[in-house]
Amino acid sequence: MNNAQLNELKQRYVASGAASPATQFADRAENALIWDADGNRIIDFAGGIGVLNIGHRHPKVVQAVKDQLDKVMHTCQTVMPYEGYVKVAEKLSQVTPVRGHGKVMLANSGAEALENAVKVARAATGRDNVICFTGGYHGRTFMTMAMNGKVAPYATDFGSMPGNVFRAPYPVPSEGVSDEDALRGLKMALKTDANPKDTAAIVLEPVLGEGGFHAASPGFLKAVRELCDEHGMLMIVDEVQSGFGRTGKLFAIEHSGVEPDIITMAKSMADGMPISAVVGTDKVMDASGGNSLGGTYTGSPVSCAAVLAVLEVFEEEQILDKSLALGDRLGERFTQWEQAFDCVANGRHLGAMAAFDLVTADGSPDADLAGALCKKAREKGLILLSCGLWGNTIRFLMPVTIEDEVLEEGLGIIEECLKEVVGSQAAATA
């Protein structure tokens, strides 16, 4: 079927809240390229929203999945366990920087990992409250919608959210929130809303994902760790988007030297297969009773095979070094664009987790321009995503394994689009 036929089916049968606004349908993909149902070639700078750090259909992952399909597809690991689950748990325990000996539970999605992290924290502490941050994003289930630091579009139409979730400001110096401001706000939340003796955990992303790719400083993260230790609260770090090599470390928290009690992960850990994990200190992870964690599909044998293959690829292909090199190249291009276009500001990157903002003449966020840029890029064969609390951030999540010539082609399209949208905007106001 072609794009037009598939769009007709989408309009008739897919719920509007779940339907993509895109009119092209993926037919096949390889590394950083997608071909749609009409045969058009598209450069992918989104990576399935950070899922494809080692590219579409990495051969080693594809082979591991095929091999597993010839053995076992499903048993439910709580009914009949299998080698893949315990091997993934072993590997994650070895590479995840939590305090002490790590233990692992596997789930299906990032949101499910966060839900279970909160369950574990409540069981381990006997407390209810959770403190999260402005701009944070943790998922689309009810608990994670309550935890998100942005309302639209995630929680707009769904009524009351679960209670015992409180918010503190995330440090974003470019938006006027310093480390000191954020820490003061966090301490104020503990004074005015969430009594420390009733607070199970502080949950934060070391680099905001949907919130605009802003990295918390090592000093701030250390201060959060100290505050948790002072009050017996757990530190939960959400690495769903920033994890598995996006920032040049396996996990972004490693840049700070801070060891959390729990780390959640998903997205690029299986190169497109659905799986997530909660990794925490053994005492914390063992706090809840038998059969209290899990689900029918959690830790699928096929997804576990993909995770183990991904970890091998990281070692064999020096993915972390490639992430750092890609981030440097993006940073250089952002600097050039900031000099060439008044609307481009605040270029930033931690490894290949990179972004810049689009602003008006007075420096205010320009979400309309961000939307126009992404639309124009799609018309020219490039998938580009915006994000941020104000919707004016352009984020980069292309595969770390992207070929040099494809990267340059994509960056060239962005530069061309910037010239066109800025020019058309100037003409409209003249």
Provide the CB-side half-sphere exposure for 131 (13 A, CA).
Answer: 29
What percent of the chain clears pLDDT 70, i.e. is strictly above it? 98
Out of 265, 299, 316, a domain closes at 316
Give the model's confidence band at 94: pLDDT under 50 very low, under 70 low, under 90 confident, else very high. Answer: very high
Q: Are 104 and 44 in a shared domain?
A: no
Q: Specify the number of domains making up the chain.
A: 2
Give the model's confidence band at 421: pLDDT under 50 very low, under 70 low, under 90 confident, else very high. Answer: confident
What's the rounded mean pLDDT across residues 406-412?
98
- Residue 427 has what pLDDT? 53
Out of 316, 335, 369, a domain closes at 316
Q: What angle (nearest 5°) sits at the alpha carbon of residue 245, between those of residues 242 and 249? A: 95
Residue 400 DSSP code: T
286 three-state secondary structure:
coil
Q: Is 219 left (phi over 0), alpha (psi -120 to 50) or beta?
A: alpha
Q: Are 269 and 361 in a shared domain?
A: no
Q: Are 82 and 207 in a shared domain?
A: yes
Domain residues for the domain of 294 are 62-316
| Cβ-based neighbour number of residue 23 at 10 Å | 12
Q: Are 332 and 348 in a shared domain?
A: yes
Q: Are 346 and 392 in a shared domain?
A: yes
- Residue 423 has what pLDDT? 72
Out of 293, 316, 339, a domain closes at 316
**Phi then psi for 144, rounded to 5 degrees?**
-75, -30
Q: Which of 254, 255, 256, 251 is nearest to 266 (CA)?
A: 251
Instruction: Considering only CA atoms, give the Rg of the chain.
Output: 21
Give the model's confidence band at 428: pLDDT under 50 very low, under 70 low, under 90 confident, else very high. Answer: low
pLDDT, averaged across the chain: 96
Buried b (16+ CB within 10 A) or exposed e, 286-322: ebbeeeebeeebbbbbbbbbbbbbbbebbeeeebbeb
State the sign of the Cα–Cα–Cα–Cα dihedral 66, 71, 74, 78.
Answer: negative
The answer to whether residue 424 scores a pLDDT higher than 70 is no
Return the HEC string of 339-381.
HHCCCEEEEEEECCEEEEEEECCCCCECHHHHHHHHHHHHHCC
Report which secondary-structure segment, H or E, holds 48. helix 47-50
- Residue 307 has what pLDDT? 98
What's the rounded mean pLDDT across residues 200-222?
98
Question: In this structure, what is the dihedral angle of CA atoms 59, 65, 67, 69, given to the nearest 10 degrees?
Answer: -150
Provide the CATH number for the domain around residue 245: 3.40.640.10
What is d(CA 242, CA 268) in angstroms, rounded to the nearest whole number? 9
Q: Are 273 and 146 in a shared domain?
A: yes
Q: Are 330 and 385 in a shared domain?
A: yes
Q: Are 96 and 191 in a shared domain?
A: yes
The answer to whether residue 138 scores a pLDDT higher than 80 is yes
Residue 233 DSSP code: -
What is d(CA 422, CA 168) in angstroms, rounded to the nearest whole number? 36
Q: Are 43 and 107 in a shared domain?
A: no
Residue 291: alpha-carbon gap to chain centroid: 28
Contact predicate 282/93, CB 8 Å: no
Supply the angle between the helices 301-316 and 59-69 in degrees, to the nearest 10.
Answer: 150
Report which secondary-structure segment, H or E, holds 68. helix 59-69
What's the rounded mean pLDDT across residues 187-192?
97
Q: Are 107 and 251 in a shared domain?
A: yes
The answer to whether residue 426 scores a pLDDT higher than 60 is no
Contact predicate 70/225, CB 8 Å: no
| pTM for this entry | 0.96
Q: Are 301 and 331 in a shared domain?
A: no
- Residue 38 has what pLDDT? 98
Buried b (16+ CB within 10 A) or exposed e, 338-364: beebebbbbbbbbbbbbbbbbbeeeee
283 three-state secondary structure:
helix
Provide the CATH number for the domain around residue 37: 3.90.1150.10
Helices (H), 232-300: 282-285
| Cβ-based neighbour number of residue 198 at 10 Å | 13
Q: Which of 35-44, 252-261, 414-423 has the lowest mean pLDDT?
A: 414-423
- Residue 429 has what pLDDT? 56
Residue pLDDT, tens place only, 273-321: 999 999 999 999 999 999 999 999 999 999 999 999 999 999 999 999 9
Q: Are 164 and 152 in a shared domain?
A: yes
Residue 51 amino acid letter: V
What's the rounded mean pLDDT across residues 62-74?
98
